Amino acid sequence: MSFETSQDVLNWYERQERTLTDDFIENLPWNTVEDTPLDKRFIPVLLYMRDVEVLTDMYHRELRRTPTGRDPVIAKFMERWGVEEVTHGQVINRFLNEAGYDTPSDWQDRTMKNVPGNYHLSTYFLTSLTNLLGSRFTATHMAFGAIHEMSTAQAYRRMKLLARHPVLSQILDGIIREEAAHTNFYRSVARIELAKSETAQKIARKVVETFWRPVGQGSLAKKRTEYSIATLFSDEGGVDQLDRTVTQRARQLPGFADLTKVTQRISDICDKLRPKRVAASLMMLITINLDAII
């Protein structure tokens, strides 16, 4: 798919039907969720995914303060994007509840309130800074967004592969389809904007190199980010899949040909936490064997 203008991209996006409609959600086989056990190690990851999704509401408010947020085409996209991401968080929360993991009724408010104060302060400075860049910030915002959307979709794919839970898989397939549409929007507008000027490419590249962190890090505790990434990507093939589907695709953007940042960061987190995961698995094996002997 190749588009000439961001309006063309928006027209395409608006033709995409929602997957996670109220009907889709209501018709999921919720009464069968407990028939398949869910490995407990995925609970903190699903809670992390849920919180990141509903925090989109906050990011959306922040982005409205930036030059791209005031661009009518991008603002129109973000209106729907913001709603879709929040649905993702809510449907994940419902899945957790149906699987027997209760969450407080005000979990959305709590997630918002738990965002650290220094996050709001640094975001305030960052959004103020983007106003100095004006419309040149659009390319950066779109490239950043494309990387976030691509990595989020891969995290969901890994969750589906590892958790092997039939109802969760149906939910994740729906979410992944919507994330793919978000990716296509961000990536297509990024390509158009980056191609306009070398300065835009340099700024976007510098910002990604300096500020890119895995989705949610900063607004949620770093240890939650790292646990989620290590759980999803540490196993064989995880980092390679991320490199193939995120970093190598991001490299196709003008000015991003030799990007290594995303793979490097995820790989570093996996390396850092792998010894802990190996130790935990060994402990589990020892316990199982001792149980068998006793």
Taking the C-alpha atoms of residue 133 and residue 144, their distance in angstroms, rounded to an integer, is 15
For the chain, give me the number of helices (H) and strands (E)? 14, 0
CB of 57 to Fe ion, least distance (A): 12
Taking the C-alpha atoms of residue 282 and residue 294, their distance in angstroms, rounded to an integer, is 18
Both tokens of 248, joined, read: 């190598």
CB of 284 to Fe ion, least distance (A): 32
Please list, in sequence order, all residues whose beta carbon lies within 8 angstroms of the beta carbon of residue 83, skipping any fewer than 6 positions away: none
CB of 211 to Fe ion, least distance (A): 19
Among positions 231-290, residues that touch Fe ion (CB under 5 A) are none
For helices 222-233 and 261-293, angle between their N-to-C axes, nearest 10 degrees = 80
Nearer to Fe ion, 88 or 265 (CB): 88
Nearer to Fe ion, 154 or 263 (CB): 154
Residues 225 and 126 sit within 8 Å (Cβ to Cβ): no
What is the per-residue binding string for Fe ion in 80-99, x denoting contact by CB under 5 A? -----x--x-----------
Helix (H, G, I), strand (E, B) or coil at 217: strand
Nearer to Fe ion, 77 or 137 (CB): 77
- Per CB under 5 A, does 51 bind Fe ion? no
Residues 250 and 150 sit within 8 Å (Cβ to Cβ): yes
Tokens 């995914």 identify what position?
A: 49
CB of 88 to Fe ion, least distance (A): 4
- Per CB under 5 A, does 158 bind Fe ion? no
Nearer to Fe ion, 51 or 149 (CB): 149
CB of 175 to Fe ion, least distance (A): 6
Both tokens of 260, joined, read: 């290594």
CB of 235 to Fe ion, least distance (A): 23
- Per CB under 5 A, does 187 bind Fe ion? no
Q: Which stretch binds Fe ion (CB under 5 A): 77-85, 129-137, 165-173, 185-193?
A: 77-85
- Residue 181, by phi and psi: left (phi above 0), alpha (psi -120 to 50) or beta? alpha
Which amino acid is residue 52, in one-letter code? V
Nearer to Fe ion, 87 or 130 (CB): 87
- Per CB under 5 A, does 141 bind Fe ion? no
The 3-class secondary structure across 104-152, one letter per residue, is CCCHHHHHHHCCCHHHHHHHHHHHHHHHHHHHHHHHHHHHHHHHHHHHH
CB of 152 to Fe ion, least distance (A): 6
Q: Which stretch binds Fe ion (CB under 5 A): 8-16, 113-121, 178-186, 260-268?
A: 178-186
Taking the C-alpha atoms of residue 273 and residue 229, their distance in angstroms, rounded to an integer, is 9
By CB under 5 A, the count of residues binding Fe ion is 6
CB of 167 to Fe ion, least distance (A): 18
- Per CB under 5 A, does 193 bind Fe ion? no
One residue of 182, 187, 191, 249 binding Fe ion per CB under 5 A: 182
Which amino acid is residue 115, in one-letter code? V
Which amino acid is residue 14, in one-letter code? E
Q: Which helix (H) or strand (E) holds 31?
A: none
Binding residues vs Fe ion (CB under 5 A): 53, 85, 88, 149, 179, 182
